[in-house]
Structure 1
Amino acid sequence: MTFSSLAFLFYFLPLVLMFYYLFFFSRTLKNIVLLICSLFFYTFGEPKYILLLLISIVVNYLIGLLIGEAKGRKKAATFWMSVAVIFNLSTLVVFKYLTFISKNVYYATGGKTQVIEIALPIGISFFTFQAISYVVDVYKKDAKAQKNLFHLALYLSFFPKLTQGPVMKYEAFAPQITQRRETFKKFSSGVCFFITGLGKKVLLANNMAIVVDRIFEIHKMGNIPISLAWLGAFAYTFQIYFDFSGYSDMAVGLGLMFGFKLDRNFNYPYISKSISEFWRRWHISLGTWFRDYLYFPLGGSRVINKDLLIRNLAIVWIATGVWHGANWTFLVWGIINFVFIAMEKVFRFEQLKIPSFIRHLYAMLVVIIGWVIFRANSLQEAGSYLTCMFNFISNEFFSDYTYMFLKEFWIFFIGAILFSLPIASIANQFMAKGILIRKNVDLTPPFKEHSVYVEVPLVRVISFLYPIGMVLLFIICIAYMVKGSYNPFIYFQF
């Protein structure tokens, strides 16, 4: 059950909201409703792995208490924190990487070993990292050990962020469990966030997915023309952004409906002028997690020489690549990001006087190449596809397929380009300057010199039209969902 499914929109969410606000008089009962519904949400998608989530909750709860009780005994606290980290990472390795490892051993030994097939539990990368955040925050005394098992369970299983994040730090989420306030402003903002995210997913990401899947299928049959290869790469660049940012907007919106403030995950990454800036704008919560729990403990950028800086960056980006999936493509993708970020830091790229449009072209070229590798099923497929993109010598350029896809999906490509830009921010600045809509009113026609202008603030007009636009967007999304095919979120596999 995904956020963009009819079952979620018309059955699960209305029932959760109804039961939640039915207990308006009790914060405890509201939290119990959220916990029960969150566990049901996970059970609906992964019934056989609900036990894994519950074990993770209980183990991290007990170890958190042991760390908290250690107090001045540093060695004891360190021991229990290490046990928790090893437990969580071991869980991740077994369920996410054991199949991949066993397959590689199988091929390396010529089929003399057995392949171990384990289905990947939904959201394991996200709730495992949040569990590590909890025990480390308690160890560092950034947060107190949670004595209420149900509160920790809600932190780890809260359904808006359970399957795809954001990866929230415990210290940011914990106070909201007991101190949040639900208001009409929060709820209405949450609804708008949710509908916006739904539009990104259903209208933009899903239509881009059709283009991407078809082009990659055509590529499997042989080389494809340059224009078609680039169109597929551009389409996937838009697909993964609107798929994941759409989910993130929906998660933020759902959180606001229940009074929670969840972290924003995206800040228009495709306007970046360097790879370092791109990763400050893309999947912000994951980047923050790696910064706080891996990069800084290693020494970060404040090290005595560049060798240690490069080592720290290498560890972080290899870990980032591996976190995304059990495939050599993700590892190579992480290494590519490491190489360019390391070069930017060593040569202080962001301080160089290079024209903005050149910096932007450089950043987007690296990002697009990275997404092709990310999308490919194997390094061989990625290499073949990239060859089609850059083989300007022997590969043909034009293709009837390119024209066909552009003719059928041009409106979605234009929408994807426009909504990749900070249009809302620009509009807010426009309205903040007091730009007005002026209506000519002749008081004493035909004496034009006596005409006056009635000034209507633009913000008032937008405020009136905005709810109407949201309703229309929701109706259009539902229409597409009813007639369209099921298309799961990309990050469900992570």
Structure 2
Amino acid sequence: MIFYAWGEPVWVFLLIGSVTVNYVGGLLIDKFRDTKKATAVTACTLVFDIGLLVFFKYTGFLVENFNAISPVDLPVPHIEMPIGISFFTFQIISYILDCYWGKIKVQRSWYKLLMYISMFPQLVAGPIVRYAVIENEIDNRVITSADVSEGITRICMGLGKKVILANNLSTIVDTFFKTGDLASLSVVGTWYTVIVYAMQVYFDFSGYSDIAIGLGRIFGFHFDENFRYPFVSKNITEFWQRWHISLGTFFRDYLLYVPIFGKRRKYLNLFLVWFCTGFWHGANWNYIIWGLYFGLFILIERTIGNKNIRKMPKAVAHIYNTIVVVVGFGIFYFTDLGKLGTFLGNLVGLNGNSFTDKISMQNMTANAWLFIVSVVLCMPVIPALKKKLESKNLYLATSVGQTVLNVAVFALSSILLVNATNNPFIYWQF
């Protein structure tokens, strides 16, 4: 709580209040189990939770769009969004729904429920940890030397992803997408920059997830993985089974199969999942477009069928997946729809932009090693090498190698951070 209050001295009381409401809601659901009262309590609690999220995160967006389609000109409020509200609200919702469905036991200790929601490793930017995942470990934690060792490794690797890779990749992205003249950027330059941005987001967010998972391990909590090398996927369905797994599984379990107006509606549920996936990321139209964009490809793949998709040559499948994903990251980047249109036109030269340009080519040459290393580390190279060494019973070499790598990454990250300005993780804004 001190950790959260350090950044949110006022909104910490909102967090405490939200936990209290849901704590009481859980007790009432258990008391009125299998009755209409339990359903009513669940509904009221969800309205409260979602209402808080909508108020703080989307009020300004909703008022702006209402003004745009009506003669009324309401003042647009500028409400400060509490850090991590998207993440801890979804954790609370998962707790309430699992209580209602009987998947977990109701937590009768307010302090323990508060600890679950306010657990600082994953409070501000995920992953979204289900109560069911750590239910037993709240009271029965066993911290082993293996947990501490693995936790330290995950923290070092996550720090390296952020500081060594993501921060340097962001410099390239800013050069062309933020401060550069986007309209004059060549086709090759546009593709190069958006590929770099896709890797930046991956290393930034998976790096944070690694740090959160590592801290959890040190305290005896085993959080689920949030990323599993998504860029090796052969289709969009597989990509979303590997990317931001905690968010994808949340919508799958709590929205995709939930009956709407009495029964499950295949296409409406799918639309809601991807609309919410996009809108969850931010109060801008580009995020909604981004979510529906991926939802469209998921629908196409479901229509074609998994068997037919698997018949596609692996090289073709990877190229298809890479193009769709990379273009998606471009949609994700540009909150200004005008610039988004320019970006999409640039990809195929519709803006009269050249195929290549001198500045882009020079940047590619100057950052060739960073680009190559980033591409390689997007693949499961290190786990494969570690597995191969262990298969030959070279456990000592594996252990020593991992220790040396941890020290080197931590030392280099520390050096790079000494004179650095504030470099927040990308997903802190969500």
- Kept in 1: contact 2:182–2:343 (CA 8 A): no
- Whole-angstrom CA distance in 1 between matches of 2:343 and 2:222: 41
Q: 1:258 aligns with which of 201, 213, 219?
A: 219
CA 1:483–1:410 in structure 2 vs 1: closer, same or farther (change >3 Å)? farther
Count of aligned pairs between the two proteins: 427
- Whole-angstrom CA distance in 2 between matches of 1:110 and 1:411: 55
Matches for 1:443-482 after TM superposition, within 5 Å: 458-482=394-418
- Whole-angstrom CA distance in 1 between matches of 2:45 and 2:37: 12
What secondary structure is seen at the aligned counterpart in 1 of 2:367?
helix
- Whole-angstrom CA distance in 1 between matches of 2:6 and 2:381: 37
- Whole-angstrom CA distance in 2 between matches of 1:111 and 1:404: 51
Verify: 1:158 aligned to 2:122, yes or no.
no
- Whole-angstrom CA distance in 2 between matches of 1:49 and 1:388: 42
* Per-residue CA distance 1:56-99 (angstroms, 9 max, x = gap): 11110111111111134x20110101111111000010000001
Structure 1 residue 218 displacement after superposition: 4.3
- Kept in 1: contact 2:133–2:224 (CA 8 A): no
Letter of the 1:344 partner, please give it.
E
- Kept in 2: contact 1:197–1:246 (CA 8 A): yes
Q: 2:185 aligns with which of 199, 224, 232?
A: 224
Matches for 1:301-316 after TM superposition, within 5 Å: 308-316=265-273
Q: Which residue of 2 aligns with 1:345?
A: 302
Verify: 1:78 aligned to 2:3, yes or no.
no
Structure 1 residue 493 displacement after superposition: 0.9
Q: Which residue of 2 aligns with 1:365?
A: 323
Structure 1 residue 460 displacement after superposition: 2.7
CA 1:465–1:112 in structure 2 vs 1: closer, same or farther (change >3 Å)? closer
Verify: 1:240 aligned to 2:196, yes or no.
no
Q: Which residue of 2 aligns with 1:170?
A: 131
What secondary structure is seen at the aligned counterpart in 1 of 2:19?
helix
Structure 1 residue 109 displacement after superposition: 3.9
Verify: 1:329 aligned to 2:265, yes or no.
no
- Kept in 2: contact 1:219–1:385 (CA 8 A): no
- Kept in 1: contact 2:164–2:416 (CA 8 A): yes
Q: Which residue of 2 aligns with 1:296?
A: 257
For the aligned residue pairs, the C-alpha RMSD in angstroms reads: 1.8
Letter of the 1:172 partner, please give it.
V
- Kept in 2: contact 1:207–1:409 (CA 8 A): no
Q: Which residue of 2 aligns with 1:215?
A: 176
Verify: 1:483 aligned to 2:419, yes or no.
yes
Q: 2:368 aligns with which of 410, 420, 423?
A: 410
Letter of the 1:417 partner, please give it.
V
Q: 1:138 aligns with which of 81, 96, 99?
A: 99
- Kept in 1: contact 2:23–2:113 (CA 8 A): yes
Letter of the 1:61 partner, please give it.
Y
Query: TM-score w.r.t. structure 2 length?
Result: 0.95
Structure 1 residue 221 displacement after superposition: 5.9
- Kept in 1: contact 2:285–2:335 (CA 8 A): no
Structure 1 residue 223 displacement after superposition: 2.5
Structure 1 residue 403 displacement after superposition: 2.6
Structure 1 residue 219 displacement after superposition: 4.7
Structure 1 residue 329 displacement after superposition: 0.2
What secondary structure is seen at the aligned counterpart in 2 of 1:326?
coil
CA 1:283–1:221 in structure 2 vs 1: closer, same or farther (change >3 Å)? closer
- Kept in 2: contact 1:180–1:260 (CA 8 A): yes
- Kept in 1: contact 2:183–2:342 (CA 8 A): no
- Whole-angstrom CA distance in 2 between matches of 1:103 and 1:117: 11
CA 1:221–1:431 in structure 2 vs 1: closer, same or farther (change >3 Å)? closer
- Whole-angstrom CA distance in 1 between matches of 2:231 and 2:94: 29
- Whole-angstrom CA distance in 1 between matches of 2:58 and 2:196: 29
Q: Which residue of 2 aligns with 1:105?
A: 66
Of the structure 1 ranges 319-328 and 347-356, higher mean CA displacement relative to structure 2 is found in: 347-356
CA 1:350–1:359 in structure 2 vs 1: closer, same or farther (change >3 Å)? farther
Structure 1 residue 261 displacement after superposition: 0.6
* Per-residue CA distance 1:15-47 (angstroms, 9 max, x = gap): xxxxxxxxxxxxxxxxxxxxxxxx111111222
- Whole-angstrom CA distance in 2 between matches of 1:342 and 1:465: 44
Q: 1:68 aligns with which of 23, 30, 37?
A: 30
Q: Which residue of 2 aligns with 1:45?
A: 7
- Whole-angstrom CA distance in 2 between matches of 1:334 and 1:311: 14
Verify: 1:422 aligned to 2:358, yes or no.
no
* Per-residue CA distance 1:197-232 (angstroms, 9 max, x = gap): 000000111111111111112455633111211121
- Whole-angstrom CA distance in 2 between matches of 1:375 and 1:221: 13
CA 1:429–1:75 in structure 2 vs 1: closer, same or farther (change >3 Å)? same
What secondary structure is seen at the aligned counterpart in 1 of 2:355?
coil
What secondary structure is seen at the aligned counterpart in 1 of 2:184?
coil
- Kept in 2: contact 1:226–1:392 (CA 8 A): no
- Whole-angstrom CA distance in 1 between matches of 2:249 and 2:196: 28
- Kept in 2: contact 1:376–1:382 (CA 8 A): yes
- Whole-angstrom CA distance in 2 between matches of 1:112 and 1:394: 39
- Kept in 2: contact 1:203–1:412 (CA 8 A): no
- Whole-angstrom CA distance in 1 between matches of 2:312 and 2:233: 14
What secondary structure is seen at the aligned counterpart in 1 of 2:82?
coil
- Kept in 2: contact 1:330–1:374 (CA 8 A): yes
Bigger-Rg structure (1/2): 1
Letter of the 2:64 partner, please give it.
K
Verify: 1:377 aligned to 2:335, yes or no.
yes
- For structure 1, the 5+ residue unaligned runs are 1-38, 435-456
Structure 1 residue 142 displacement after superposition: 1.0
Letter of the 1:50 partner, please give it.
V
Q: Which residue of 2 aligns with 1:391?
A: 349
Structure 1 residue 105 displacement after superposition: 2.3
* Per-residue CA distance 1:287-334 (angstroms, 9 max, x = gap): 1111111112238xx96xxxx422221111111111111000000001
- Kept in 1: contact 2:232–2:379 (CA 8 A): yes
- Kept in 1: contact 2:186–2:349 (CA 8 A): no
- Kept in 1: contact 2:342–2:351 (CA 8 A): no
- Kept in 2: contact 1:267–1:282 (CA 8 A): yes
Q: 1:117 aligns with which of 61, 73, 78?
A: 78
- Whole-angstrom CA distance in 2 between matches of 1:257 and 1:343: 43
- Whole-angstrom CA distance in 2 between matches of 1:482 and 1:108: 49
What secondary structure is seen at the aligned counterpart in 1 of 2:185?
coil
